[in-house]
Structure 1
């Protein structure tokens, strides 16, 4: 009985923090790490980068669910989440979030002083993002910038300094995430407009929002091409991966329209998981071979 409860609780937390979506920024973080080190860094660095990443993304998703609990309860689509259903309590999720963020800060301290010094910036972004939908339609971009902390942070963890390559990668990560978040947010157009929730679909309409998402993803590819140009480790395999990603982007945008949002979840999540895996596999192979 105790074991069953533990398993159920672990499952609820896994769903709460969307553990299956880890791949979205992990691919950028790992490739940035490999490019920064021009190969594999030490096991020590790899370990603490992964610890920092998991602490940050898990804590960020957990605090997002706490901050949005009341909004989620009103929205029929999100009312089935763990907090609105009462499967988890706010207080315990806040404690869980604090533990995750503490782990992130400890990991940053174990990497180098610059990572520790900048960790409050990361914490600020992870917390403020959840409030942005209350006052700005640019919330999707704030989410993207928060996600971009993964590749920029990984680069800093290895080198202790910044350069153009991680900035281009961070910009690509920003627009990629913002683009598919706009697509996902399109399904909440009616709820958002009726409840004063700010988003690009609510501000500009679903049709224009989908065009903006397409533009963001086109720029994402251009930025990733610049990443390849700036790196002396990336070549044919990497660009093959970008070609695959381009095809997946086209498929993603073809399956949604203002008149048909039934495939929004597939377009915004499933397709982008494939994009992330393609980027990870091709990028890692080219960076290491």
Structure 2
């Protein structure tokens, strides 16, 4: 076993680019921001891109604003990274007690807490530079999300619904894309935000099933523990709410048959997740969780196609 292998994080894909190609001194920092596991960036980015595409449909534009899409991509990467470092600082003692997370750079001693804090501030400052490229309303809206981000890591200590708080934070982009285009909020992005919250609760419940035994032993809470063997009916509820909310937002913005066909494909994908989910198989849960990147792509393509074909 090579040194790169021994330093790898337990739940990172084997042979990922960080382990294989990144210079050795950068690897702990890239692992802290989950660069070896980009799914979190995708899940933070999709609501931003959906909202930007939804605004294009409402405005009668043929394409979403490409500059905004690029800004959101950079912002999602750095702010997801900053959030991961913050969570690791708060949770380092907890992570050391969980099999899946004890190999992370902070609990394993690869990075000091001081270095992690400096790194987090640098990432947050980069995110701020991205944010100030938008209009004043969007800047204020983006800053307003920081309170939710700050409290999230503590929620699993006090409630079985930390996934709902994650939904509040990870879905914020559903408001941001529309605000960037119009400089205001309307009902359509608010419905999209609610839909994204339901989607987040669903996919993060799947993710949390990987840690449920360790969480129970150390006294942490999650929807995975709350739902237990009844997770699938709860998934039907939350994924159903997500599809209904996305549909309502799309129709309110002026979407038509092209969008609805794409949404039906997305609903089928979520149905596949539920039907094939095995909450007692960690690998199964991780694969279904990661497949939400594909769901995000389906919805985005449906909105882009609707904008392009309906003008």
Which range, TM-score by smaller chain? 0.7 to 0.9
- What is the aligned residue count? 283
Q: CA deviation at 1:29?
A: 1.0
Structure 1 residue corresponding to 2:175, chosen from 140, 152, 155:
152
TM-score by length of 2: 0.82
Determine the structure 1 residue equivalent to 2:24.
8
C-alpha offsets along residues 32-90 of structure 1, whole Å, 9 cap, x if unaligned?
Answer: 11332433466654554444433322211221122222111100121122222223332
Q: CA deviation at 1:180?
A: 0.9
TM-score by length of 1: 0.88
Question: Comparing 251-260 with 189-198, which one deviates more in the overlay?
Answer: 251-260
Residue 287 (str. 1) matches residue 296 (str. 2): no
C-alpha offsets along residues 192-229 of structure 1, whole Å, 9 cap, x if unaligned?
Answer: 12211011222x24113343233101111111111221
SS in 2 for 1:162: coil
Structure 1 residue corresponding to 2:289, chosen from 260, 268, 281:
268
The structure carrying a bigger helix percent of its residues is: 1
C-alpha offsets along residues 263-284 of structure 1, whole Å, 9 cap, x if unaligned?
Answer: 1101111x21211121222222
SS in 2 for 1:213: helix
In 2, the alpha carbon distance for the partners of 1:156 and 1:224 equals: 17
Question: Comparing 152-161 with 162-171, which one deviates more in the overlay?
Answer: 152-161
Q: CA deviation at 1:143?
A: 0.6
Determine the structure 2 residue equivalent to 1:24.
43
Residues 276 and 42 of structure 1, relative CA distance in 2, 3 Å threshold: closer
Asked if the contact 1:16/1:61 (under 8 Å) is kept, the reply is: yes
C-alpha offsets along residues 123-181 of structure 1, whole Å, 9 cap, x if unaligned?
Answer: 22222111111111111011111011112112112211110111111111111111111
Residue 79 (str. 1) matches residue 102 (str. 2): yes
Residues 95 and 5 of structure 1, relative CA distance in 2, 3 Å threshold: farther
Please list every run of 5 or more consecutive structure 2 residues that lacks an aligned counterpart in the other structure.
Answer: 1-19
Question: Comparing 40-49 with 17-26, which one deviates more in the overlay?
Answer: 40-49
Structure 2 residue corresponding to 1:251, chosen from 251, 272, 290:
272
Residues 215 and 106 of structure 1, relative CA distance in 2, 3 Å threshold: same
**Root-mean-square deviation (CA), in Å?**
2.4
C-alpha offsets along residues 5-53 of structure 1, whole Å, 9 cap, x if unaligned?
Answer: 9623444434322341222232221231133243346665455444443
